[in-house]
Structure 1
Amino acid sequence: METSTFFNHNTDEEIIQVKRTQELDIWITHLNYVTDESDWLAKIASNKLNDKLLRDALLESSEQNANILNELYNYRTSIVKHNECNDLECDVYYINLHDTYCSRYRKHLETYRKIKSDVYMKILMS
């Protein structure tokens, strides 16, 4: 990921926009990796551990991951509209929207990590 250099002539809004977009790109990159990882773990759960329930939990998590990724991609294309804001109410809307996506991302990761830990515990116990 590229880091951005800011200058004195950059407005607060420009800096916030760049930072928000960078954060969003990190989430998308991470969830793309989670897609691959959950697929690998589902295969391990099914083929090596013979645990269909764990496999199904991973597949369900993978589906949820795909849904969140799709939402983040859509949000990524709409984030440009924030530049069109010219009042505080509009700014607050986009700040709250970003926080909503952040919360969904973090909650999804928390759930996924619990399932992932279950896979590792099963591997260690077998």
Structure 2
Amino acid sequence: MKQVNRPHLHESLNQIIVKKDKLEIANWIETMELISNELQYLIPLEKRLLGAPAVNQSLLTVQRENQLRLGTLYRYERTMINAIEYDTTECDAYYLHAHEKNRDGFMDHIKTYTALKLTLLSKILERF
């Protein structure tokens, strides 16, 4: 997880918020990349141990969603380069809305993935 540097007194509130948001986005991306790596193990594990088509399909769906969301976060991270340059209320509202939308999507995805992972692990435990 990325480390937060203390804000400097010469930075504006907008600069501090943008730095915080960029850090948060980097942490989301790191988490999504870890999920992607986990899925590379969970999918074959499910095939070998359970062979349950419904669970396998759910894993593949989450894997696809993970890749799509990761792409969205990479694009969003690139747009944050311009965030400091624009200091208008309209721009602030746009970035706030975009950030909240991405946060909500990330959190929903984490909840879905976690529930699926727990379901998979519990089914493996039941079987063995």
Matched residue SS, 2:10: coil
1:67 paired with 2:60, answer no
Q: Which runs of 5+ in 1 are unaligned?
A: none
Aligned position for 2:38: 37
Per mean C-alpha deviation after superposition, the further-off stretch among 100-109 and 81-90 is 81-90
Q: Which runs of 5+ in 2 are unaligned?
A: none
Per mean C-alpha deviation after superposition, the further-off stretch among 79-88 and 18-27 is 79-88
How many residues were matched structurally? 126
Shift of 1:91: 0.5
Shift of 1:50: 1.6
Aligned position for 1:10: 11
Is the 8 Å Cα contact of residues 39 and 58 (structure 1) preserved in structure 2? no
Measured in 1, the distance between the counterparts of 2:99 and 2:11 equals 21
Aligned position for 2:125: 124
Shift of 1:17: 0.8
Shift of 1:5: 2.5
1:34-76 Cα offsets, whole Å, 9 max, x none, are 0011221111111111212211110110010000000000010
Identity %, equivalent residues: 25
Is the 8 Å Cα contact of residues 42 and 56 (structure 1) preserved in structure 2? no
TM-score normalised by length of structure 2:
0.93
Once the two structures are superposed, the pairs formed by residues 1-126 of structure 1 within 5 Å of their partners are: 1-126=2-127
- Runs (4 or more) in structure 1 with deviation over 3 Å come to none
